[in-house]
Structure 1
Amino acid sequence: MAARLLAALLLALALVGGGYWWGHTAADNAWAARQAQTKQAAEDALDKETARADQANTRYLTDHLDQEDRYADLDAKYRDLAGRAPLVVYRRVPVAAACAGAAPALEHVSAAAPAPGAVAADGPVLTLAAVRMWNGALTGIDAPAGACGVAGAAEGADASCAEDSGLSLDDAWANHTINAKSCAADRQRYQALIDFLNHRETPTQP
């Protein structure tokens, strides 16, 4: 009888131990599976972000090189234009005529920018060539200013580029001031974003 009781006790202990071992192993396997899934998800997310960063870098380099090419073309074109047409002329212009003319405005000015000012008699005025070159430097695109640079005009036949635009040096300076303030504001925003990204705290793990 004692032997049978001992055998039953040992069997019970073996069953309990086996059940505990099986449960512990199953829990370990489930935890390992969850860890593997979490690791795989993190690797997939990292691969996705890496691919997105590579695409963004490729787009930036492509756009940057395209912009460099555009400005190189503009530089060559405007050097030739500056050799054929002056940027400033001195001309006796009545004040009323200067204000009433439909002169092309410089680009990239805010809605609150002042209108072209009155040009005094015998005062310096910007030519259409100067306005065309100014706008091209701001936008990276060569666009006609008035009759200067109109598509289809024969090469060297753009005498209109030497005509005054009705814009004075004061107008150019006012436009430059607006553009400089806009660039300074952009630099401030970009620097704030860079500082935020560089000093962003890593979230603490619970």
Structure 2
Amino acid sequence: MTSLAARALGLLCAALALVGGGYWWGHTATDNAWQAKQAKADQTVSKAIAKETKRADLAAASYLQEHLDQEDRYADLHATYQHLRRRAPLVVPGPVVVADCSRTPGPDAPGPEQRPAPDTAGDGGPVLTLAAVRMWNGALTGVDSPAGACGAAVATEGADAACAESAGLTLDDAWANHATNARTCAEDRQRFQHLIDYLNGK
């Protein structure tokens, strides 16, 4: 009876040892699988971070180079245009409309109140020169481009005279163009600010 109880106890201990061993083995295997899965996930995240960091570094380097190039372009333009301003005016008097009063008007001629008023470009007010248009466009684009014969690639002895010629544009034309450009810049600033806020929010 004692040996039977001892045997039963031995079997019970063996069963408990098997159950405990199985639990320990299963727990260890689960831990190992989880650690392997976690290590793989960490590796994927690390690769993604490294890729994004490299992309950000390239974007920053590209921006910096473009910014420096733009500063150089505008510095060159400034020097060119300072020299141009010493040689050519920005505005000249506009053409003056003169009525021919030497002839006696016929019976069908319109009276003074019926004659059309001259436009602003023909009233003797100041008009922009080709030099002014060239400088205006260069300031907007960052590229020195000729305006008519002013700044043309084949420079002649009369290049300075060409830059001093009227472009046929009044100060009102310049102001209208400035207002359009200012509105466009304001819209761009607003779009970029929303984009910056969105990216910072992410």
Deviates more, 1:184-193 or 1:60-69: 184-193
Whether the 8 Å contact between 2:129 and 2:164 is mirrored in structure 1 is: yes
CA distance in 2, matches of 1:168, 1:93: 14
CA distance in 2, matches of 1:77, 1:161: 13
**Structure 1 unaligned spans of 5+:** 95-116, 201-206
RMSD: 1.9
Task: Report the CA distance shift for 1:5/1:126 in structure 2 as closer, same or farther (over 3 A).
Answer: same
1:89 counterpart (89, 92, 99)? 92
Tell me how far 1:197 sits from its aligned partner: 3.0
> Which residue matches 2:137?
135
CA distance in 1, matches of 2:57, 2:158: 45
CA distance in 1, matches of 2:152, 2:19: 95
CA distance in 2, matches of 1:136, 1:188: 24
Partner SS for 2:78: helix
Tell me how far 1:195 sits from its aligned partner: 2.4
Q: Does 1:144 align with 2:146?
A: yes
Partner SS for 1:158: helix
Partner SS for 2:122: coil
CA distance in 1, matches of 2:156, 2:78: 20
Instruction: Report the TM-score when normalising by structure 2.
Output: 0.83
Which one-letter code corresponds to 2:165 in the other structure? E
Tell me how far 1:180 sits from its aligned partner: 0.3
Instruction: Report the TM-score when normalising by structure 1.
Output: 0.81
> Which residue matches 1:67?
70
CA distance in 1, matches of 2:120, 2:95: 12
Tell me how far 1:185 sits from its aligned partner: 0.7
Whether the 8 Å contact between 2:126 and 2:170 is mirrored in structure 1 is: yes
The correspondence of residues 4-43 of structure 1 with structure 2, limited to 5 A, is 4-43=7-46
1:44 counterpart (42, 47, 69)? 47
Task: Report the CA distance shift for 1:93/1:66 in structure 2 as closer, same or farther (over 3 A).
Answer: farther
Tell me how far 1:57 sits from its aligned partner: 0.4
1:55-76 deviation per Cα after TM superposition (whole angstroms, max 9, x unaligned): 0000000000000000000000
Deviates more, 1:26-35 or 1:153-162: 153-162
**Structure 2 unaligned spans of 5+:** 98-118
The correspondence of residues 177-192 of structure 1 with structure 2, limited to 5 A, is 177-192=179-194
4+ runs deviating over 6 angstroms: none
1:29-50 deviation per Cα after TM superposition (whole angstroms, max 9, x unaligned): 1111111111111111111111
Which one-letter code corresponds to 1:120 in the other structure? G
Task: Report the CA distance shift for 1:177/1:92 in structure 2 as closer, same or farther (over 3 A).
Answer: same
